[in-house]
Amino acid sequence: MAMVALGAAMGAHAQTAYTGAPWRFGLYGGLNFNIVGAGAQALAAIPGDNFAQSNDIIDGTGLGYYTGLMTEYNPGGLFGFQLRAGLDDRRVNFNDWDVVGSTRTRFSARMTYISVEPSLRVNLGSPNFHLTAGPLLSFLVGAKYDWVPRDETSPDIVDQPIDGAKSFAYGVSGGLGYDILLNSKSASSTKWYLTPFAEASYMMAQRENTFPGQDRNDTWVTTSIRGGFQLKFGSGPAVAPPVVMVDVDVPTIDLALRAPNAVTDQRSLIEMFPLRNYLFFNDGSTSLPNKYVTLDATNAQQFREQSLMQNPGTGSSGSSMDRSQRQMSVYYNALNVFGDRLRNSSSAVTLVGSAPSQAEALEMANNVKSYLVSSFGISGDRITTKGQVRAPHASGTRVTPPEDMALVAEENRRVEVLSDDVSLLKPVRIESTQIEPIDNDLVLNVTPSGPIADYTVTISGNGYTQTYGPYRSNSQRIDARPILMNNSTGTYTATVTARTADNRTITKSTDFSLVKTTNPPVTGTRYSILFEYDESKTVQTYDQFLRQQVAPQIPNNSTVVIHGHTDRIGLEDYNFELSTKRAAEAVNILKDEMNKAGRSVTFDSYGFGENEERSPFQNVTPEGRYYNRTVLIEIIPGS
């Protein structure tokens, strides 16, 4: 049966004239995931009493590079061959292990080879998909190890040679690959191929036994799971690609546009601004950061939370940036707000510091306590301090991208103010003027009948022309105020130009009008929901707050605009979906309450994700990122 199957495979390969390049030359590159098994290793340079006889290096894993030059012969039949020669890096980080008593260390090693790998190539069903297998012949070019003690009493050992490393090692390797012809539409005889491959490689006997005459088995073997790419070229028959006539339907576009009833320049706003109960400390310092407003005992006696209510801060323009600065000035008075609330109550608080060391974290918490006691006269018996390495509501998860870990560490260096008395942590009421009312947006919904790559929106008319985009999501919002410029009214055309995957274009237009209101806008009310760093948390956590605090404040015939935001940590697409989902969940809860109350209310919800042009705050500070993890709810009465 095996001979029949082999004959059938060879016959299948021989039925069609081979048009690829039989001889190919190129280079390869990839990564090794190294799994090392070792036992009873003697490394005399490491300090320790009788180390070589009392401690083993057991096993470990690590990433190394794999790169070099190659040649290949693939005549298009069942068999061919391949030859690679290049650098094969078998570095590894060993698991933690004991040296003396309770001392803990970290140990890593780098074994680097020039490897020669002749392989048999077996084509599996086509000349492109193939299996390779063959011996591994490796010549050592470097064998070093690092030893880093954690007790900080012994010196680091860096770049020490691994004694007994063999100059020659051998093994086997094999795997799968697939040749992708890059210039398939070209009639040229030169063929370029990109070949992704995945393989396993086993290298044996990398080190001599350093315990001759003893009953010890000193081994060092590496199994590598590798993946990478080959880029190669060769010469083959010049074949003109066939001309295929495909009748593809061009997608159509449905365009829905909603213009604001009236464009307003500004609106009075009463905002219930949540007071984030985290105080973020500078790296390497346990002192209160200068960004937080601190008062001496005399000025603290005169401080009242009500002084922050009307236009806090120095800004006067009312822009979104200036508004965020005013709101942040409230947050930077958090120590004084907590002090004012504590002296007007008998409640207790717990200050939990978090830092890389517990002692450092406790000192941070004690410095906050010292300020509340010395400036506001709060009894020290009412303030409990703790220090711990991990914050009670720590930022970061296992899926946090590596490039964002520094921002996460910055957020986790803080003191959390915790209390069973919710009144100590309630939002601050702010009265201000909003120069960018939330209901000034044009809302566009673009629905194509088939797949498109992206689209742009061009708005023209009344002396104004501007193109926005490109966009990929169906719903977009555009601020109407710049479109009107200084005019009180205007008629405009919005034209959507979509691009298909094969670069054809589709257009759809609609007309709309804008009117600037001449009546003073009504006063709006805004609530904010803040989220911890936790991807699983949803708006349902705030169900009671929305039903009992926000819903009663929504009058009949009002408009409620709800928009979600995230900070920039994490994946952009996930953040957009998360902000949209949270805004929609808030709408569902409030709609349920409005139906129970028999009120007619218009809801408008959307998510901006991490879009920094629309973010309430900048993402450059921990507190800015925390305030961007929000759903904003704005109630506009009688609109």
pLDDT tens digit sequence for 224-238: 999 999 999 998 777
CATH of 2-235, one of 1.10.3720.10, 1.20.140.10, 2.40.160.20, 3.30.56.10: 2.40.160.20
**Residue type present at position 37:** G
| Kind of pairing between the strands at 92-98 and 79-89 | unpaired
**Residue 30, class by beta-carbon neighbours within 10 Å (0-12 exposed, 13-18 middle, 19+ buried)?**
middle
**Interval 409-429 mean pLDDT:** 90
Q: CA–CA separation, 250 vs 470, rounded Å? A: 20
Mean pLDDT of the chain: 82
CATH of 275-426, one of 3.20.20.140, 3.30.1330.60, 3.90.420.10, 3.40.50.720: 3.30.1330.60
**Residue type present at position 29:** G
Query: Strands, DSSP E only, in 374-424?
Result: 383-388, 414-418
Interval 512-541: pLDDT, tens: 888 887 666 677 788 888 888 765 567 777
- Reply yes or no on whether the pLDDT at 39 is more than 70: no
At residue 389 the predicted structure's pLDDT band, cuts being 50, 70 and 90, is very high
Interval 330-358: pLDDT, tens: 899 999 999 999 999 999 999 999 999 99
Q: Domain map of the chain by residue range?
A: 2-235, 253-261+435-515, 275-426, 524-636
* Cα angle 462-468-469, degrees, rounded to a multiple of 5: 165
Instruction: Assess whether the region 275-426 and the region 524-636 belong to the same CATH fold.
Output: yes
- Between 227 and 213, the more confident residue is 227
Q: In the beta sheet, which residues pair with residue 116?
A: 85, 137
Three-state DSSP state, 590? helix
At residue 206 the predicted structure's pLDDT band, cuts being 50, 70 and 90, is confident
- Reply yes or no on whether the pLDDT at 314 is more than 50: no
pTM of the full predicted structure? 0.53
Q: Which residue has the tokens 């799968």?
A: 176
pLDDT confidence of residue 168: 94
DSSP H or E run through 71:
strand 59-73
pLDDT confidence of residue 569: 84
* CATH architecture of the domain with range 524-636: 2-Layer Sandwich (3.30)
| CATH 1.10.510.10 fits domain 253-261+435-515 | no
* Cα angle 127-133-138, degrees, rounded to a multiple of 5: 130
**Residue type present at position 619:** N
Per DSSP, 165 falls in state: B
Does the N-terminal peptide bond of residue 470 adopt cis geometry, omega within 30 degrees of 0?
A: yes
Backbone angles phi, psi at 335, to 5 degrees: -60, -40
Q: Please report the sign of the dihedral spanned by the C-alpha atoms of residue 373, residue 379, residue 380, residue 383.
A: negative
**Interval 180-192 mean pLDDT:** 83
At residue 476 the predicted structure's pLDDT band, cuts being 50, 70 and 90, is confident
pLDDT confidence of residue 198: 96
Non-local (6+) Cβ contacts of 130 within 8 A are: 74, 80, 121, 122, 123, 124, 176, 177, 178, 179
Distance of CA 334 to the CA centre of its chain: 29
**Interval 301-309 mean pLDDT:** 85
- Reply yes or no on whether the pLDDT at 307 is more than 50: yes
% residues pLDDT > 70 (the chain) = 83
